[in-house]
Structure 1
Amino acid sequence: MNSLLLKKSDLNQVIIKKSITISPSTTLLEARETLLRHKLKRLIVVNSKNIPVGIITEKDIVKTVYALGDKSIASVKVGGFMSKNLVTIKKTDSVYQCAKLMYRNKISSIIAVNQDGTLYGIITKTDLASIFLTQVVEPIKVSKIMTRKVITAMPGDSLLYVETLLINNRISRVVVQRNNIPVGIITFRDFVPAKLPHWLVESADPKEVENYRLHSQLTELRVNQMSHLLQFKAVDIMSANPVTVDDDEDVGVAVMLMIRNNISGIPVVKKKKLVGIITKADIVKAIAQH
């Protein structure tokens, strides 16, 4: 792969988006309402000088609500539970620098600041993936950056087995295959039991759901729900006929498919057979390493 993967340009010329902000004194309920109203996954917390001092996500709100137990949430302020270890970048820095920070810190977004430290905007994995559509110097084949090890299940496998695959491998999706041909996709939110609260269902990742179950009381209702899961197979809940991409297609095609279908990962096939998977994280990694 060419060492100059993208056209030389700084973040300000390419992908930085403006962000809705809140203050540390914003209540948890107000922050939640803002996320819902604007259909966002994260909010940047700024002080009176518009300097970023924290960031909160849907998952931060979920964790905080659970930690409160029976206590009232009406008086809980964002400043008490926001993430304070911020990764920031200057708006004049390069796309490469941004990708390296994102990849090195294993995060999905980075805050962009002005020279004086005030907020300028935010960059996400989706933003970095999108630059392949306009900024790539030479076409890159999917096979060059895809992840070759794919965690799979069979249509007849139990949902509890699929759940185990997600948790133990710390992944977001399992490809359901028959004769090495992708026939479905299952993500954690496809089958999280109804016992789990709505907020966790909407923003679940395997590690958090595992922790929730381990630290929650095992009631008779929960036992019955787990038994209920045993009756179902992967084929019962999978999203059938998954979007796929050929290994010799350009990465730009994979990006367009992700954006068009609002997904973050696509099975890669060769002559219809599963040979890998490509995700937005793979694209960020490719930018970071070149």
Structure 2
Amino acid sequence: MAPTSYQGRMEKDDKDSHTHSQTEEWSLGVNSPGIKVEDILRHKGDDVHSVTPHSPVREAVGKLTRMRIGALVVVNSDLEPVGIVSERDIVHMIDAGKDVDAAVETIMTPNPVTCTPDYTIEEVMKVMSNRGFRHMPVQQDGHLVGLVSVRDVVKHRLQEVEYENLKIKQAMVG
């Protein structure tokens, strides 16, 4: 008789119980639709740092520095996003010789592209990549509920890839 490792599957093999990680649904990711923006916000929080269009650029620079962030959402009196100002915008302003006491509205990117909490990481990555920006305000029912950055997206996508890798390894073993 051949060693058991060389024998094909037997009827009793199908009756063995499997752990959760060995189920076909888990291995194929059936119940794992991917990470969404709401998952990112749940981990990082929903704090959104902002300025008004009439705030001086000097104030925006101070907030960016104190908060150690790369962008601020520019909001109107109803707290709706009307623009976004980033470190990149400030560098361009300085290079053009503009005064830091100028209003933020003179250097902001108006009408920022936004997403909703139900966007997937893949959707956000695609928009950011195609449009060439690194920060995206998150809106829900017309209200600003967060801000995601390329760093946030890459961090969570990496976790998702590591999880997928683990599933593949367990499927190969299990």
Fold conserved (TM > 0.5)?
yes
Aligned match of 1:86 in 112, 116, 132?
112
1:113 aligns with 2:142: no
Structure 1 partner of 2:83? 54
Helix, strand or coil at the partner of 2:96: helix
Spell out the pairing of 1:232-247 with structure 2 (5 A cutoff): none
Structure 2 partner of 1:124? 149
Write the deviation string for residues 162-205 of structure 1: whole angstroms up to 9, x where unpaired.
Answer: xxxxxxxxxxxxxxxxxxxxxxxxxxxxxxxxxxxxxxxxxxxx
Contact 2:121/2:157, CA 8 A, preserved across alignment: no
RMSD (Å), alpha carbons:
2.8
Q: 5+ unaligned residues in a row in structure 1: which ranges?
A: 141-290
Write the deviation string for residues 201-248 of structure 1: whole angstroms up to 9, x where unpaired.
Answer: xxxxxxxxxxxxxxxxxxxxxxxxxxxxxxxxxxxxxxxxxxxxxxxx
Give % identity.
Answer: 25
Spell out the pairing of 1:1-290 with structure 2 (5 A cutoff): 7-8=32-33, 9-12=35-38, 14-16=39-41, 17=45, 18-68=47-97, 73-74=100-101, 76-116=102-142, 118-136=143-161, 137-139=163-165
Helix, strand or coil at the partner of 2:133: coil
Q: 5+ unaligned residues in a row in structure 2: which ranges?
A: 1-27, 167-174
Helix, strand or coil at the partner of 1:86: coil
Inter-CA distance 10–28: structure 2 relative to 1 (3 Å threshold): same
**Could you state the TM-score of these two structures normalised by the residue count of structure 2?**
0.66
What amino acid is aligned across from residue 51 of structure 1 in structure 2?
Answer: E
Separation in 2, partners of 1:104, 1:133: 20
What's the CA shift for 1:85?
4.3
Separation in 2, partners of 1:102, 1:23: 24
What's the CA shift for 1:23?
0.7
What's the CA shift for 1:77?
0.5
- Between Structure 1 and Structure 2, how many residues are aligned? 134
What's the CA shift for 1:96?
2.3
**Could you state the TM-score of these two structures normalised by the residue count of structure 1?**
0.41
What's the CA shift for 1:133?
5.0
Structure with the largest fraction of strand? 1
